[in-house]
Structure 1
Amino acid sequence: MTEPSTPTTVAVEAARGRARCRLVPGAFGPRVQGGDARGARVALVATGALLLGGDEVVLDLEVGAGAWLEVVETAGTVAYDAAGRASSWTVRARLGAGATLVWDGLPFVVADGAEVTRRTELVLDRDARVVLRETLVLGRSGERGGAVRSRTVATCEGRPLLVEDLDLSPQVRALPGVVGSHRVVDSVLALGWRPVSGADPGDGAYRFDLDGPGALVRWLGDDLHRSGAVDDSVAAWRHLP
């Protein structure tokens, strides 16, 4: 896969008996794993090698009013040596009033030579909620890792909730206030409400409360299996019916 793909679309609406799902395959083939009248659990199955130089992967998620969607990744993603060719990974999610989105994302590994732009755009209507985990790993074993720029923009009822632009290119990430020598950035977002506990989760992870309804827990380290505090936050925050 070395050219722009059709956006993968997952749309869920509550309906009598069983939720209605609209699935459009692209870089991923979405598969319904289960659900009820209000929502569905949908797995993303890659339809080809990801992520290669020149790839432009787009995932569009639509969750109707009062509905829920859980996105399940069947495997992590590796951005491979691009030989100078940039690639991109874009997630666009729109939630209606009272909707819920949960995505406990698997690791996104940026191999040596990769050059990736990640964009996450979240639009929440009244009383919508999102739990989203994003785990960036800089390099495979023994590698320093390529360049990745990760931008997240979230709005709630038309007002900005979170805007973050994280440049993790090799020449920038070692600067003070970025990630230093760490190679794993593991984060989980709660959007649309303020989780009750305001304490830091410990084990090297820190919680940041947003100015609006939401919070972010982030862990920096070298060994992904040590980020158990992020696992705990995902488990505590997920709000499936």
Structure 2
Amino acid sequence: MPTPINPTRIEVVADPVRDRCLLTTGLLSPRRLQAADGVVRVALVAASALLLAGDQVEIQVVVRGPVRVEIVETAGTVAYAMRGGSARWDVSVQLTDGAELSWHGEPFVVSEGADVARSMTVEMETGCELAVRESLVFGRHGEIGGTLHSSQRAHLDGQLILAEDLDLTPAARPGWAILGGARCLDSITTLGRRLPDSPDTLQLEGPGSMVRRLVQDQHLSDLAQSWAASSKPDKISECS
């Protein structure tokens, strides 16, 4: 039987005196961390063993007003062999009134025998910004890795600015237009602003960019430097 969906929710509302923050635990537990002025920083910690057959992880992020929220993951996630079962990992983001969100994801490892559907949907207004780093790793040491279907949709002021569906099954991944001989797909996506032009940066039709690395091992990717370069100076905020 599937694990009942109990959403993990991070809701932050800007306030002139003290920004308000409501954190709700699901299969992941959000916890406030100390942060520099201008930032609400939240860590995501697994509240139970993840990711197993039947798990349905749902993460909701809502940020309203001129406040910067940073989400960090304390450890990578391993999708284990599911013996014919499957699991889901769904993220929804809403940004309004000048909100900013930065989310640095740790490696998401799809073990041999795993079957995962992973999605992210974003609704944002002009003046808001989003930056996400995502690292997908196929197989633990010596494994080919399981099945992953990935979907992304983003709207700015109701207009679609990003739509992507990736078939990352073992049969499809070796294609030259997918991973080729690589084992890891490392990505940085920005919405609401563009990264500097470079030969390996895809500029979206709307305000946004995507840069990717295909590497054998996640630590070989150079996107850590790109992520640091894309970060912004901190501002002021508190979470209660």
Range into which the TM-score falls when normalised by the shorter chain: over 0.9
- Give the alignment of 1:24-103 within 5 angstroms: 24-35=24-35, 39-103=39-103
Match of 2:172, SS state, is: helix
Unaligned runs of 5+ in 2: 236-240
In the aligned structure 1, how far is the partner of 2:35 from the partner of 2:18?
A: 7
In the aligned structure 2, how far is the partner of 1:178 from the partner of 1:212?
A: 24
In the aligned structure 1, how far is the partner of 2:46 from the partner of 2:146?
A: 22
Task: Give 1:212's match in structure 2, choosing from 185, 194, 206.
Answer: 206
Judged with a 3 Å threshold, the aligned counterparts in structure 2 of structure 1 residues 39 and 13 are, in CA distance, closer, same or farther, namely: farther
1:92 alignment partner AA? S
In the aligned structure 1, how far is the partner of 2:177 from the partner of 2:61?
A: 33
Aligned to 1:192: 192
In the aligned structure 2, how far is the partner of 1:154 from the partner of 1:5?
A: 23
Offset, 1:22: 0.7
Q: Kindly provide the CA deviation profile for residues 127-163 of structure 1, in whole angstroms up to 9, marking residues without a partner as x.
A: 1000101100000010000000111111111111111
In the aligned structure 2, how far is the partner of 1:38 from the partner of 1:61?
A: 18
In the aligned structure 1, how far is the partner of 2:123 from the partner of 2:229?
A: 23
Offset, 1:72: 1.0
Q: Kindly provide the CA deviation profile for residues 11-68 of structure 1, in whole angstroms up to 9, marking residues without a partner as x.
A: 0011233211011100111111134786410011111000000100000000112122
In the aligned structure 1, how far is the partner of 2:99 from the partner of 2:219?
A: 31
Identity of aligned residues (%): 41
Aligned to 2:157: 157
Q: TM-score if structure 1 supplies the norm length?
A: 0.93
Aligned to 1:178: 178
Moved more, 62-71 or 171-180: 171-180
Judged with a 3 Å threshold, the aligned counterparts in structure 2 of structure 1 residues 49 and 2 are, in CA distance, closer, same or farther, namely: farther
In the aligned structure 1, how far is the partner of 2:38 from the partner of 2:198?
A: 33
2:215 alignment partner AA? G
Pick 1 or 2: higher relative contact order, CA cutoff 8 A, min separation 6: 2
Question: What stretches of structure 1 move > 2 A for 4+ residues in a row?
Answer: 34-39, 238-241
Match of 1:172, SS state, is: coil
Contact 1:14-1:38 at 8 Å conserved across structures: no
Aligned to 1:148: 148
Match of 1:116, SS state, is: strand
Match of 1:140, SS state, is: coil
Moved more, 167-176 or 143-152: 167-176
Match of 1:235, SS state, is: helix
Contact 1:133-1:186 at 8 Å conserved across structures: yes
Q: CA RMSD in A?
A: 1.6
In the aligned structure 1, how far is the partner of 2:53 from the partner of 2:13?
A: 35
Judged with a 3 Å threshold, the aligned counterparts in structure 2 of structure 1 residues 34 and 68 are, in CA distance, closer, same or farther, namely: same
In the aligned structure 2, how far is the partner of 1:220 from the partner of 1:37?
A: 36
The number of equivalent residue pairs is 234
Aligned to 2:221: 227
In the aligned structure 2, how far is the partner of 1:27 from the partner of 1:214?
A: 30
Offset, 1:175: 2.2
1:198 alignment partner AA? D
In the aligned structure 2, how far is the partner of 1:4 from the partner of 1:144?
A: 30
Aligned to 1:238: 231
